Structure 1
């Protein structure tokens, strides 16, 4: 009986060509990469530079505030401010106006009250 063996054919791998840049090529590559950044800075400088440059007075809003007492919750504050309204809507308005991320309150905290609920 004879034995047959199969050997894989190994071909030499051609080395990858190395990219070589001249100093001029590097400058061109850096300039192309910096173009979007320069365009963004120019756009920001042109569009955002005159926000308050007009000299007009800015209207300020005044709010009534409520001081949080021990045991107060947003629900109890909402019910005392607008007894006939849905407390969930009042709580949502208070949270948006005061940028409250969570429903937790601190004793002594000042909460601005939306104008429609102020007395």
Structure 2
């Protein structure tokens, strides 16, 4: 089991990846602009959390099937396919592919943790 801090760091990284890693170009921007940007980032954060929740719900369903069929929780080949795909997609979008890989590696670990709940 990985440390909680590692997961928080990864999820923060995910938020940055999906938020475009953008920071205000002028740190001394007006309060109204800063508040608007904070609200936008908060809305994006909520969307990310909703997507993570949806991914974990699917992982739970997959865990049930794997338990019923006697399939392994870990499938390294499939994990690499996912990591390669998202790293490429992230890079095409201008994100650091290694950061994207790290974030999704954490999501995969979280998914496996959820799936393992169904193993006897």
Q: Same fold (TM over 0.5)?
A: no
TM-score (norm 1): 0.24
Q: Which has the larger radius of gyration?
A: 1
Q: Which structure has greater helix proportion?
A: 2
TM-score (norm 2): 0.24
Q: Which structure has greater strand proportion?
A: 1
